[in-house]
Chain A
Amino acid sequence: MNRLELAGLAARPAQVWGGIRLVPLVREQPVEGLRLHREIYTGYGNGVVDVGPRTHYTSYIPHGFVADWSGEGVRSAAYGTQLGTGNSPGNPPRTARLHRNRHHRMAKRQPGDRLRFLPLHLAMEGYLALHFGGPAVAWEEWSRQALRDGLSPRAEDAYMGWSVRGLGDALRAFEIHPGQCGVMVYAADALAAAFVLPHPDDYRLLHPSLVQDLYGELVHQYALYGAPVAEFAARISDGPHLRSLAGLRAAARAQEREWAEAHDTLFARELLDTSYTFDRVYRMGSFTLWRFLPPFLRNGEGQHIGETITDHKGQVAYLKTFRLSEAQIRRGHLLHRLSDADWRLSQAAVALGTTEEELVRRIRAAGFESLLRARA
């Protein structure tokens, strides 16, 4: 599996609000056997997450998602919360040490087929932990600190949905389609996020949560500085062939179809055509929770990290993506090239088609200054 398959989801005409374009994704049939719910945390999104023994990170966490594949229905998941407890090595437990009220604690006692996870944090953590350990071989260019601690600590900035200009209003004025299970958010016609859920009811519930999510720096800037985007209004050419109401109806239908095709090939292409590295996080029955990383190609196209839940056929039941900014892609690219070259600067410079001095400059520019020894 190296691609996202949005089979079963059809794009409906976009709704535009200022610089934000929202494209609804509609399912004919909801995905059987999986529901998602929201779990709300106190503390206005301040959260600390344990990612391993004596390792934790602090981040903005407005809510968690509860994946429920018990098939028991809506109510059960609101009470039941099972934290991921993979104790095996190599699959560190992701537990959140958060302020929980008694409600949660009570429910924790009865484990069910439920999984709580923090939306976008799986993906973000995957990105932050890229070659986290730093150089594996002690080449002389690398500092002591790099060898001892690796890339620690790494931090990335993100913006809350509230601060993405126009997004709150766009989501408020958006008219949810019947059967809608997802949405693609565009800021100044750049894909900012994709959000897919298994069931329309879940979507209705989680639609407002989009405004609390994380968005990349690029999205924030596009929304702030971008002009209002044009609406793709329907156009029917009224040639002499159009002689009956049936003909008019056919032309109207064609407009709707055209839009769906145009969206998949034009707008969402960068998301759907990229091959990703998938990393399995959790198995739950026939569903699998993955996180994925893009290839970090520097071809100027948008690259997305994210997480997804697929069923046994590979169909996407849940999807949430985060668009990386140019600088973030550059960092990922650099780390990958360095790792491929066993962290040997000379070899990496050849692979990148540049000189060693230039590579050192790029490493510094990417904010990894502390990795290098002072003399270099």
Chain B
Amino acid sequence: MATSTETTRTGTGADLVAAEDVLLFVNAAITATGQREFRSTAYQQRLSLDFLHEYVRVNYRRVYAAALALDINDHNAVRIAQGLLESAADANAEEKRTEGRLIAARLAKLPPQRVYRLFRALRGAKVNNRRTRAIMRDWLAARPDPAHDAVKYRAGLKTAARHVHLRFGGPGEPGETGDFLFRPGRRPRYRHQLLDAWRRAHYEQGAVDELPFTVAEGFAARHGMKREVFLERMVPRMTRLERLRTQGQRSTGDDVRLPTDIDLTVMPLTRLALYVLSLGFEVRGLHRKELTHALRTAARRAAGPHAGSWGRVAAVLDDSYSSSGSGEKRRRPLAVALACHFLLEALAAPGAYIPLWTSGGTDPLLVRPWGPTPLGTRVLDALEHGPDRLVIVSDGWDNAPPGLAGEVLRVWRSRLDPDRRTAVVHVNPVYDADGFDVRRLAQGVPTAGIRDAEDLPALVEIAQFAEGLTGPAALYAYLDRQVARFVSGEKAGAAS
């Protein structure tokens, strides 16, 4: 991205401010989802995020678009895409071309339900310029099976098709989907199996099994089918997450067994950590071996080429009460800490990893969100081991006593380790609505927002910009590289 070639020439104050704004927005776009957090309400979160999006879109439009290339969360990716398309008039032709490519690349990576929701929002906002239509049409054309979408995302596809005046019926597809959506009842039967199953499912219980799980659920309820029986029959048609989600309903009674139909080791690391934390203590204790193995495997995969390359690593992991998250993001901060634990274990040199939980616990598999956050003391404990790298995973609310972690880190940096033998980085899974950023611990310690532990290596790279050692020029160059890589289709980060 050719951002601010004119500003990077001089390292002026304005330039530094711009770089800080960029990092602030990236942190927010990674962590904030507009949902309730432990300390702020959903409304506060949305208000704060609204402001931030508008501020960055108006002042740093190129950076705003470039954020799509980073490992930001889906909620913000959709918001950015919508923001860019809504305010198309503010961009010049060159910018529009870059934006279009970025949006298209991002939409291809998003889950379809989010994209359909974005299309609905665009329709609601009456955004129907040529570029928007082209982007929507391209995305719809790239969907593998329109009939599947027509059944599973019926309203979404209908809205989108209406909005872009989409014509159904290509060479291999004789307009059945179009009739299915807009002229129901015209055809006595459909040649496409899925469409026909949907038609028959209205009066025939046998057809329900042929539908996608979420669609079948509604029909099953309508037919009054027994939930357990229905779920057992649907298992082969469920996605992995659906299988995990219904595991509790499928097993009878207090049966404490792990799902046999899902290979836990192939799950993404943070997702797996969330699943482990959703299990009771007995189950976790009973299946300690399998769960640890799955987490280790997922961590090794996430570490990829970085595995074993970080030297001596000490981690301060926050399992205080506030890591329980909220009703909408249950145990998310704790799951990130747990996932980071296993990831760091894989990244560190063999046997050179020291985890320190704030509660003082030593069994990562049995963590629970409980107690205060004595980060300062734990940081001291960690520094005593003389690590090459210190990683702090915390929401930044240090309360026993408040601010001690910041003081310890400051004094450590200024008096005991001025030549930076230990690299310290703080990753924070919680967006602070009042501060428009994630909460920081100390001035000299870079803080990066984190959503999935898998992004940790990439985030540590971003965090070095926050330290102020590398200038804004390097930051913009980094963004350019990410955008180029993203648009050319190569996977930039560790995971999405």
Contacts and interface: CB of A to CB of B under 8 A. Distances in A.
A175 B322 contact: yes
A244 interface: yes
B407 A175 contact: no
B383 A245 contact: yes
Given A173-B38, A245-B384, A248-B380, A12 B411 contact: no
Contacts of B377: 252
Contacts of B408: 236, 248, 252
A248 B401 contact: no
Contacts of A234: 376, 401-404, 407
A183 to B, nearest CB: 13
Contact of B372 (A12, A16, A232, A233): A12
B403 A243 contact: no
Contacts of B320: 175
A176 interface: yes
B416 to A, nearest CB: 7
B404 A252 contact: yes
A242 B380 contact: no
A310 to B, nearest CB: 28
A14 B404 CA distance: 13
Contacts of B304: none
Contacts of A236: 407-408, 410-411
Interface residues of B, number: 30
Contacts of A176: 321, 370-372
A375 interface: no
B372 A177 contact: yes
Interface string B277-321: 000000000000000000000000000000000000000000011
Nearest to A16: B402
A177 B403 CA distance: 17
Given A173-B39, A245-B416, A255 B401 contact: yes
B193 interface: no
A178 interface: yes
Interface in B349-390: 359, 370-373, 376-377, 380, 383-384
Nearest to A238: B411
A375 B495 CA distance: 88
Interface in B395-414: 399-404, 406-408, 410-412, 414
A13 interface: yes
Interface in A233-261: 233-236, 238, 242-245, 248-249, 251-252, 255-256, 259
Given A231-B402, A245-B416, A177 B380 contact: no
B404 A238 contact: no
A235 B408 CA distance: 9
B351 to A, nearest CB: 22
A245 B379 CA distance: 11
Contact of A242 (B359, B402, B415): B415
Contact of A173 (B322, B407, B415, B416): B322
Contacts of B407: 233-236, 252, 255
B484 to A, nearest CB: 43
Interface string B28-49: 0000000000110000000000
B401 A13 contact: yes
B399 A15 contact: yes
Contacts of A24: 372
A178 to B, nearest CB: 6
Contacts of A175: 320-322, 371-373, 399-400
B404 A255 contact: yes
Nearest to B399: A15
B401 A232 contact: yes
A257 to B, nearest CB: 10
Contacts of B411: 236, 238, 242, 248, 251
A233 B416 contact: no
Contacts of A12: 372, 400
B464 to A, nearest CB: 24
Nearest to A177: B372
A177 B400 contact: yes
A16 B398 CA distance: 11
A255 B411 CA distance: 14
B414 A238 contact: yes
A177 B371 contact: yes
A279 B400 CA distance: 37
A330 to B, nearest CB: 37
A249 B380 contact: yes
Contacts of A14: 402
A243 B322 CA distance: 34
Given A242-B411, A243-B415, A256 B383 contact: no
Contacts of B38: 173
A252 B403 CA distance: 11
A311 to B, nearest CB: 27
Nearest to B404: A234
B424 to A, nearest CB: 14
Contacts of B39: 173
B373 A252 contact: no
Contacts of A231: 402-403
A77 B403 CA distance: 41
A169 to B, nearest CB: 8
A255 B321 CA distance: 23
Residue among A16, A175, A233 with most chain B CB within 10 A: A175
Nearest to B322: A175
A147 B202 CA distance: 84
Nearest to B372: A175
A233 B321 contact: no
A241 to B, nearest CB: 10
A54 to B, nearest CB: 49
Interface in B410-462: 410-412, 414-416
A155 B412 CA distance: 59
Contacts of B401: 13, 232-234, 255-256, 259
B183 to A, nearest CB: 53
Interface string A15-32: 110000000100000000
B402 A245 contact: no
A314 B361 CA distance: 36
A233 B402 contact: yes
A244 B372 CA distance: 27
Nearest to A231: B402
Contacts of B402: 13-16, 231-234
A233 B403 contact: yes
Contacts of A244: 416
Nearest to A241: B415
Contacts of B376: 234, 252
A244 B383 CA distance: 11
Contacts of B373: 175
B415 A13 contact: no
A233 B405 CA distance: 10
Contact of A245 (B370, B380, B403, B404): B380
Nearest to B413: A238
Contacts of B415: 238, 242-243
Nearest to A173: B39
4 closest A-B pairs by beta carbon, nearest first, are A233-B403, A13-B401, A234-B404, A175-B321
Interface of A: 12-16, 24, 173, 175-178, 231-236, 238, 242-245, 248-249, 251-252, 255-256, 259
20 contacts: A15-B372, A15-B399, A173-B38, A177-B371, A178-B359, A232-B401, A232-B402, A233-B401, A234-B401, A235-B403, A236-B407, A238-B414, A243-B416, A244-B416, A245-B384, A252-B376, A252-B380, A252-B407, A255-B407, A256-B401
Interface of B: 38-39, 320-322, 359, 370-373, 376-377, 380, 383-384, 399-404, 406-408, 410-412, 414-416
Given A15-B402, A244-B416, 10 more contacts: A13-B401, A24-B372, A177-B372, A235-B403, A236-B407, A245-B383, A245-B384, A255-B404, A255-B407, A256-B401
